[in-house]
């Protein structure tokens, strides 16, 4: 085969219209072979003779898109010193932009003989390995425009490509479970109904289906087992054509952008699918083990594990860092994605041992002209010592706020806690983010996520029910801060069902009305259940997929209406923290931008915050106290609102504050559905606030002819037309 020297940059397989340049990094290799595979599986080897700065490269004219390939890397096999070269193992290019096939598990993909981890196994793995694919980089992006939605206006929807689309009968069957399924109008219309501005996709980087799960008849559903950081998962393509997943992914992004919806990827740069010292040799382990992985310095046969998966990527090595940064830039520049959510992001901050918020990775992101301009969301923890780092990431980052989740769950289930904690989470968690110069939007607020109970299960189960995972119910979080309201799981008791439905509305309303960026878990708006399984990582089946034929329609409409309320009123999505200072008004008393209220209508006092038994509280939000300007430089103002919370088990009479706050109030949300009338409330009036309920009052404007009450009316009426959740079978029959 004709072979030219080629170039050391860019890494990976790059087609230029005439031929393909191949480049792979390996500092410890003694010899590298590029392996090309034809349709029958026959292998042709091309030795890479040119090396620059440890990058081995070659250019092959007339090799183009669709070509399958891999590498064989020769060098010492000395695990005790961190070297695991084994040319009998076909290796996937870490920079592969598409992957063909899956792994066939067996002895051949391991570099040792089963039962003897110190041995050397030279069985060829080519037939059992997935292969890289040369892709066509050209795509018609004409008209594509990234929405660039400000954080303050963002509503995130966490979703799984397959789980969201697999059972939606409005999508053609051949497109369900694929990128094209996400791009279908049935999905996009649903997202727009909910007011979603960004869909956060669970891992779509090519991942490996674990052998241990396959042996149990299960599968890696979530995808947190990455093997190729530049390749979209091949099983999410609607066609089996090689490399088509790249074009299909781009088509999905273009369709979502046309609808004004951003695409955020959940990325896993903290570890790979090769696992610990007992794991297979699939890619980086055989290319340059010491460069790509953190090894225990006193015995380099073992891997440092901050992730709970067996290994951790070596972000202290410049070539591993380059891989991460090249991957991020590729997804932004070539695939047009709008941001990233970094799984176990604390691992990326561990240059040596401790978590360092000034680590090299964050410095690279800060100065990168591409990556620094997209949404960067950290899951701010890992499983290593000191890994819980909520509030400690650099200023340009936002964070999944685990403290928000825990506090809101505890409040609504009636746990003893200081009301001050709840107030802080509701107003953007200034205690976590203000010290670093960040704003309320640094807090990605969520009550549920893929990891844990769905919203419906959160109010239906006290205990996890993970027996289907095959681990004797030992997997998954045991402390869920959930409450079943008297019955574990499904029930026909109308009183229990009514209370569960109300609690779901309470969580949705709290999420939408909190300062920060709300994130909704896919299916929570439909009443999706996983039957108490809080760790569905291995359940690629109807247990975790969304059932579009069993929809809690009142909850769906309520969620959509709350999203509209948030969108229409900047009071609930401020870009700056409250400061408690009085706001000048054209007439009347000067009132602070926020006032916390006791049930008697008076202002909260210092001793009230730490009572430990408080369950009811109100908050006045001053629409004149936003202190921000719109994109045209005009001051932003809004109506005044009062939110009343009662997490107790008894009704509370809440007295409205004095006339200085507002002459009258309209009820726009009542999760108990007891105020369906439109009569305005008077200052000082006593309002019966039902147990486990939330109310939102908006200042009453006179005259009213031009005021559109459609959102307010729909909220009250939906809550009033409370339809108890039925057991799954009854829902399906309905």
Active site residues: 343, 379
Side by side, the strands of the sheet bearing 55-61 are: 12-15, 19-25, 55-61, 50-52
In angstroms, rounded to a whole number, what is the distance separating the alpha carbons of residues 645 and 514?
13
In angstroms, rounded to a whole number, what is the distance separating the alpha carbons of residues 336 and 247?
12
Do 704 and 656 contact (CB within 8 A), yes or no?
no
Could you tell me whether strands 31-37 and 68-74 are parallel, antiparallel, or unpaired per DSSP bridges? antiparallel
Which of 710, 688, 667, 719 has the alpha carbon at shortest distance from 506? 719
Output the 3-class SS for 188-227.
Answer: HHHHHHCCCCEEEECCCEEECCCHHHHHCCCCCCCCCCEE
In angstroms, rounded to a whole number, what is the distance separating the alpha carbons of residues 525 and 533?
18
Q: Which position has the token pair 């087609």?
A: 15
In angstroms, rounded to a whole number, what is the distance separating the alpha carbons of residues 71 and 287?
8
In angstroms, rounded to a whole number, what is the distance separating the alpha carbons of residues 298 and 319?
23
In angstroms, rounded to a whole number, what is the distance separating the alpha carbons of residues 55 and 567?
51
Extended beta strands in 233-347, E state? 262-267, 339-342
Q: Three-state SS for 466?
A: coil
Do 495 and 406 contact (CB within 8 A), yes or no?
no
Q: Three-state SS for 228?
A: strand
Do 476 and 453 contact (CB within 8 A), yes or no?
no
Side by side, the strands of the sheet bearing 131-133 are: 43-47, 31-37, 68-74, 131-133, 99-100
Q: Is the peptide bond before 440 cis (omega within 30 degrees of 0)?
A: no
Q: Which position has the token pair 């950081």?
A: 229
Do 257 and 357 contact (CB within 8 A), yes or no?
no
**Phi first, then psi: what are they for 33, rounded to 5°?**
-120, 130
Q: Three-state SS for 127?
A: helix
Q: How many alpha carbons lie under 13 Å from residue 402 in its C-beta half-sphere?
A: 15
In angstroms, rounded to a whole number, what is the distance separating the alpha carbons of residues 200 and 158?
5
**Phi first, then psi: what are they for 515, rounded to 5°?**
-70, 145
DSSP states of 651-662 as a string? -EEEE---TTT-
Do 509 and 671 contact (CB within 8 A), yes or no?
yes
Which of 731, 635, 643 has the alpha carbon at shortest distance from 687? 643
């Amino acid at each position: 085969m004709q072979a030219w020297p080629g170039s050391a940059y860019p890494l990976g397989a790059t087609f230029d219209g005439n031929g393909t340049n191949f480049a792979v990094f390996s500092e410890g290799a003694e010899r590298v072979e590029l392996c090309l595979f034809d349709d029958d599986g026959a292998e042709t080897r091309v030795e890479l003779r040119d090396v620059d700065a440890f990058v081995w490269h070659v250019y092959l004219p007339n090799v183009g898109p669709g070509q399958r390939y891999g590498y064989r890397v020769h060098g010492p096999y000395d695990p005790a010193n961190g070297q695991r070269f084994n040319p009998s193992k076909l290796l996937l290019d870490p920079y592969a932009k598409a992957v063909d096939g899956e792994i066939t598990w067996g002895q051949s993909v391991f570099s040792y003989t089963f039962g003897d981890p110190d041995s050397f196994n030279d069985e060829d793995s080519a037939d059992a390995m997935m292969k890289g694919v040369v892709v066509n980089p050209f795509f018609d992006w004409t008209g594509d425009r990234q929405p660039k939605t400000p954080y303050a206006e963002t509503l995130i929807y966490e979703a799984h490509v397959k789980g969201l689309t697999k059972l939606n009968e409005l999508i053609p069957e051949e497109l369900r479970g694929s990128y094209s399924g996400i791009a279908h109008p049935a999905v996009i219309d649903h997202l727009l109904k909910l007011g979603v501005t960004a869909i956060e996709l669970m891992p779509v980087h090519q991942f490996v289906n674990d052998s241990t799960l396959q042996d149990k008849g299960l599968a890696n559903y979530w995808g947190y087992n990455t093997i190729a950081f530049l390749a979209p998962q091949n099983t999410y393509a609607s066609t089996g054509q090689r490399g088509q997943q790249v074009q299909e992914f781009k088509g999905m992004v273009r369709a979502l952008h046309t609808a004004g919806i951003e695409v955020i990827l959940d990325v896993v740069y903290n570890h790979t699918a090769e696992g610990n010292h007992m794991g297979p040799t699939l890619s980086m382990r055989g290319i340059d083990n010491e460069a790509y992985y953190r090894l225990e310095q006193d015995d380099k046969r073992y891997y440092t594990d901050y992730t709970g998966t067996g290994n951790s990527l070596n972000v202290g090595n410049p070539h591993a860092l380059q891989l991460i940064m090249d991957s991020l830039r590729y997804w932004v520049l070539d695939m047009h994605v709008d941001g990233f959510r970094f799984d176990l992001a604390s691992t990326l901050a561990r240059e040596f041992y401790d978590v360092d918020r000034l680590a090299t990775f964050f410095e690279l992101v800060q100065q990168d002209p591409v990556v620094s301009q997209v949404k960067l969301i950290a899951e701010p923890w890992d499983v290593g010592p000191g890994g819980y780092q909520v509030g400690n990431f650099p200023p340009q980052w936002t964070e999944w706020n685990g403290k928000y989740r825990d506090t809101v769950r505890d409040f609504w289930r009636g746990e003893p806690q200081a009301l001050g904690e709840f107030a802080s989470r509701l107003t953007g968690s200034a205690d976590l983010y203000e010290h670093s110069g960040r704003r309320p939007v640094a807090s990605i607020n969520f009550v549920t996520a893929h990891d844990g109970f769905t919203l419906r299960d959160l109010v239906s189960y006290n205990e996890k029910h993970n027996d289907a995972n095959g681990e004797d119910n030992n997997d998954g979080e045991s402390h869920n801060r959930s409450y079943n309201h008297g019955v574990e799981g499904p029930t026909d008791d109308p009183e229990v069902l009514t209370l569960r439905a109300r609690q779901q509305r309470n969580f949705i309303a709290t999420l939408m009305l909190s300062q920060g960026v709300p994130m909704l878990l896919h299916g929570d708006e439909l009443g999706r259940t996983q039957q108490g399984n809080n760790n569905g990582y291995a359940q690629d089946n109807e247990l975790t997929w969304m059932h579009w034929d069993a929809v809690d329609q009142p909850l769906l409409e309520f969620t959509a209406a709350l999203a509209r309320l948030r969108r229409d009123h900047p009071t609930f999505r401020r870009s700056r923290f409250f400061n408690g200072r009085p706001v000048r008004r054209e007439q009347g008393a000067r009132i602070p931008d926020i006032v916390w209220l006791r049930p008697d209508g008076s202002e909260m006092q210092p001793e009230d915050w730490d009572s430990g038994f408080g369950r009811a509280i109100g908050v006045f939000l001053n629409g004149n106290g936003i202190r921000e300007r719109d994109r045209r430089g005009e001051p932003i103002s809004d109506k005044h609102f009062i939110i009343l919370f009662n997490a107790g088990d008894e009704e509370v009479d809440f007295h409205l504050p004095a006339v200085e706050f507002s002459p009258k109030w309209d009820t726009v949300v009542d999760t108990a559905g007891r105020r369906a009338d439109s009569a305005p409330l008077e200052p000082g009036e006593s309002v019966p606030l039902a147990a486990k309920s939330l109310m939102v009052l908006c200042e009453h404007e006179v005259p009213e002819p031009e005021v559109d009450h459609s959102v307010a009316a729909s909220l009250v009426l939906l809550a009033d037309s409370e339809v108890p959740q039925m057991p799954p079978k009854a829902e399906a029959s309905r």
